[in-house]
Structure formats: C-alpha cells, structure tokens
Amino acid sequence: MKYYRLKKQADFQKLFGRGKRAFSPSLTLLYRPSEKPIMGISLGKKHGKAVQRNRIKRLLREAYRAEFGAMKGTYSVVLIPKVADEYSLKTYRAHLKWMIEKEKL
C-alpha cells in the first residue's frame, strides 16, 4: 500500500489546528481522517544540523512505512519527534505502533 506526502503549509495548518493528538515518549502524532493515507513530518532546528535532521526524517518515514498498514482507516498524519540524545528506528516503530493501537486508528 502506498502513502502520500504532506507538503503544503496549508495542509499542515489544518492538522495542527483541527487534528487530534497522541503522545509517546519519543513522538507526537497529529491525525485526522482523510480519503487517502498522507504523512508529513514537522522537525525544527532544535534537533541539530541538517545532516541529523535528515536522518531523523529518514527514520520516521521508514517507521511510518512499516507500521501504517496496521491502521484500520485512512488518515492524514503529522509526526513530530521529541528532542533526544539518540534516535533509533526501533524506538520510533515501537512508539508508533503503540500509538496506533492506543488511538484505535
């Protein structure tokens, strides 16, 4: 199954304004029902320089790709990572899976 990328600022603002939130120790998940699966990442400069931010984005995209098949419906999703000393795919996957189950997405 394919998912689409959230790219426009207006689409991000819709989710930040009217989306529901789920929290885990490493991520905040904003979601809202939509016609097709869409995912975006919001990442600030507090996470480090460009190389580290790009790595975090790659990890989040891979975690979402692996776990979004477990969602029962289709949602627009924004992933917001929390600042940490170490970022790992295993942690992101586990927390994303936990939030999907907790929110019954």
pLDDT at 100: 94
The structural domains of the chain, with segments of one domain joined by +, span 4-103
Report residue 15 as tokens: 């989710």
What Cα–Cα distance (Å) separates residue 67 from each residue in 1, 9, 17, 93, 98?
11, 25, 25, 7, 10
pLDDT-derived band of residue 2, with 50, 70 and 90 as boundaries? confident
Could you read off the pLDDT of 55-89 as tens digits, one per residue?
Answer: 999 999 999 999 988 999 999 999 999 999 999 99
pTM: 0.92
What CATH architecture applies to the domain 4-103?
Answer: 2-Layer Sandwich (3.30)
Distance, CA of 60 to CA of 93 (rounded, Å): 8
AA identity, residue 43: L
Residue by residue, DSSP assigns 18-54 as H-EEEE-SSEEEEEEE-SS-EEEE---GGG-SHHHHH
pLDDT at 29: 96
Could you read off the pLDDT of 34-47 as tens digits, one per residue?
Answer: 999 999 999 999 99
Query: 27-33 and 20-23 as β-strands: parallel, antiparallel, unpaired?
Result: antiparallel
pLDDT-derived band of residue 94, with 50, 70 and 90 as boundaries? very high
